[in-house]
Amino acid sequence: MNNLVSSSPRDAYGKTLLELGKKNTDIVALDADLSKSTKTAIFAEAFPDRFFDMGVAEADMVNTAAGIASCGFTVFASTFAMFLTGRAWEQIRNTVAYGNFDVKLVATHAGITVGPDGSSHQAIEDIALMTVIPNMKVLAPCDSISTKRLITQASESRGPFYFRLPRGKTFEIHKDSEKIDLGKACLIREGSDMTIFSHGLMVYNSLLAAEKLSRQGIEAAVVDVHTIKPIDQQLVLERAEISDKILVAEEHSVNGGLCSALALFLARNRPVKMRFVAIEDQFGRSGSESDLLTHYGLDETSIFNKSMELFK
**DSSP helix/strand/coil, 181:** strand
With CB under 8 A as the contact rule, the residue among 12, 20, 28, 231 that binds other proteins is 28
58 belongs to the catalytic site: yes
Question: Is the dihedral angle over the CA atoms 12, 18, 23, 29 positive or is it negative?
Answer: positive
Rounded distance, CA 167 to CA 160, Å?
Answer: 23
Fill in the amino acid letter for 51. Answer: F
Site string for other proteins, 92-111 (x = CB under 8 A): --xx--xxx-----------
Q: Is 55 in the site for other proteins (CB under 8 A)?
A: yes
Catalytic residue among 19, 45, 58, 238: 58
| Piece of the chain touching other proteins by CB under 8 A; list 69-77, 111-119, 152-160, 217-225 | 69-77
Q: Is 132 in the site for other proteins (CB under 8 A)?
A: no
List beta partners, residue 242.
none
Residue among 167, 150, 172, 205 at smallest CA distance from 81: 167
Rounded distance, CA 150 to CA 227, Å?
Answer: 9
Rounded distance, CA 74 to CA 72, Å?
Answer: 7
Smallest separation (angstroms) from other proteins to the CB of 42? 19
Between 90 and 280, CB nearer to other proteins: 90
Residue among 182, 205, 192 at smallest CA distance from 239: 192
Q: Is the peptide bond before 230 cis (omega within 30 degrees of 0)?
A: yes
Q: Please enumerate in sequence order all residues whose Cβ is within 8 A of that of 282, keeping only pairs 6 or more positions apart, or say none.
A: none
Q: Is 76 in the site for other proteins (CB under 8 A)?
A: no
Among residue numbers 135 through 194, which ones bind other proteins (CB under 8 A)?
none
Q: How many chain residues are in contact with other proteins, going by CB under 8 A?
A: 28
Rounded distance, CA 13 to CA 110, Å?
Answer: 14
With CB under 8 A as the contact rule, the residue among 2, 48, 49, 215 that binds other proteins is 49
With CB under 8 A as the contact rule, the residue among 3, 5, 72, 217 that binds other proteins is 72
With CB under 8 A as the contact rule, the residue among 11, 15, 37, 59 that binds other proteins is 59
Smallest separation (angstroms) from other proteins to the CB of 93? 9
Between 27 and 154, CB nearer to other proteins: 27
**DSSP helix/strand/coil, 36:** helix
User: Which residues are at the interface with other proteins (CB under 8 A)?
Assistant: 28, 49-50, 52, 54-55, 57, 59-60, 62-73, 90-91, 94-95, 98-100
Residues marked active site are found at: 58
